[in-house]
Structure 1
Amino acid sequence: DHELRHQWERSGFTTGRREWELLVPTGPHEATVPADVKILGVGRAERDPLRVLDRAIRDEVAAGPGWHTMPAEVVARLDEATVVDPSKYAVAAQSDRYVGLIRLAQIPRQPRIGLVAVRAGQHRRGIARALLAHVLDSLHRVGIPAASAEVDEANRAAMALFDGFAATRAGSNLELVHR
């Protein structure tokens, strides 16, 4: 609601961030996986390499864009502990290591994509697109018509990724900050 937002702005608040709630249709999607990368489906990742990838991605986020750019449920961990449940992840594997992941919460009515991440050195190779296509195709095969996701509108790469799969905006969360 633009008028309500303008009232808050007149009261000294500014937009801190906006997170879009997206609905992503499932279905057969074309995505070329790089020749040196293999996608392992949800639940097929090994725990230890997945923890190594999770820790590396967390370090890259902390050193780069920062945790304020992540969806609300992706929290920075203050300790070195990395808790991952392989049953919720599909991964992109390259030789002896994982280079990308996607987390899927299997909520009965509407599965939720909680995170798509690729190691910084592997960006712009189509790995995130291949992971998302794989998960959406898997959901389609079991009769699920759509999945949900949340994306920070300032993350142009993530917005473009989901727009490429015909995601529609179902709602948003607006964080206001007092000046």
Structure 2
Amino acid sequence: MNPLPFRPGLDPRPVTISQVAGNQWHAVQNDLTVGRGYAARRLDGRTFLSIDTWQDAVFDRLAAVMLANQPDPQYTVVDETDHELTAGWERAGLTIWRRESEFVVPTGHDPAKLPAGITITTANEAPLRALDQAIRAEVEATVGWHTMPAEVLPWQGGTRPLDPSKCTVAIRDGRYVGMVRVATRTRRPRIGLVAVLTEERRQGIARALLSQVLNELHRAGTEAVTAEVDETNTAATALLEQLGAQRTGRTLELVSRPERG
């Protein structure tokens, strides 16, 4: 890609935007790098953009070049308190399409009562995949993918790999009816998904599942885990708050969309 000369405002010093790799851009002024842009393609197929610069004009130019180089839709995530960064992406044409709360959840709890007829155990892949597909179908038919964590988004190329070792499931009559997925290979374990089939809800299954997982983590020496919840998901927020979760922040997810005539 050829460098693109650019002069921000009345500054006589030229700024050159260059694509230095397939997913990286540099803004250079007087032989100094004054801005960097990155495009990261996640496993669900979505592309997330990020820009690092202290100059608004450089940010705007980097954003314009990056957005022109990648197919829509494109996404970015911003801390809700970072009004300057949010404004920059809005100038570039992105709009807010979801807000997500971040929580820290303590692990030490009295065990929740197990609903009648329900057993909780570790998962096996075949029935776990059947449950995963059923949950995805229910989400798509109701609240929509944009309200859910990345773990349940359709993955690029079709079938999404599953790791049963990360999942604890609830079983009724030999059938998986709910799951909790926890990522432990992070600085602090993260609750990736809590889901129960529609027909089995309002019986305390989600709370029993999550309570058992949290207590197992507590016995292993983990004092707290993290979780992210779309702010439209009031049921998930209420469940975490019942378990003593404290909100630690909010993030905004912004998206670019092609114009439609």
Given the two structures, how large is their TM-score scaled by the length of structure 1? 0.86
Larger RCO (alpha carbons 8 Å, 6+ apart): 1
Is the 1:25–1:165 Cα contact (8 Å) retained in structure 2? yes
Which one has a larger percent strand, Structure 1 or Structure 2?
2
* CA distance, structure 2, for counterparts of residue 3 and residue 109 of structure 1: 27
Classify the secondary structure of the residue corresponding to 1:162: helix
Is the 2:178–2:195 Cα contact (8 Å) retained in structure 1? yes
Aligned to 2:206: 128
Distance 1:94 1:80, change over 3 A: farther
Aligned to 2:99: 18
Is the 1:55–1:82 Cα contact (8 Å) retained in structure 2? no
Classify the secondary structure of the residue corresponding to 1:144: coil
* CA distance, structure 2, for counterparts of residue 160 and residue 105 of structure 1: 21
Q: Give how far 1:80 is off.
A: 5.6
1:69-126 CA-partner distances (Å, limit 9, x unpaired): 1123432246662421110000000011000000011125311110000001011111
Is the 1:45–1:91 Cα contact (8 Å) retained in structure 2? yes
Say which is worse superposed, 14-23 or 75-84, in terms of deviation. 75-84
Q: Among the aligned pairs, what percent are the same residue? A: 51
Say which is worse superposed, 138-147 or 25-34, in terms of deviation. 25-34
Equivalent in 86, 99, 104 of residue 177 of structure 2:
99
Classify the secondary structure of the residue corresponding to 2:244: coil
* CA distance, structure 2, for counterparts of residue 137 and residue 146 of structure 1: 10
Classify the secondary structure of the residue corresponding to 1:109: coil
Is the 1:51–1:82 Cα contact (8 Å) retained in structure 2? no
* CA distance, structure 2, for counterparts of residue 2 and residue 81 of structure 1: 36
Q: How many residues align?
A: 176
Q: Structure 1 stretches of 5 or more lacking a match?
A: none
Aligned to 2:52: none
Aligned to 2:162: 84
Q: Which entry has the higher C-alpha Rg, 1 or 2?
A: 2
Is the 1:54–1:82 Cα contact (8 Å) retained in structure 2? no
Equivalent in 108, 113, 118 of residue 37 of structure 1:
118
RMSD over equivalenced CA pairs, Å = 2.5
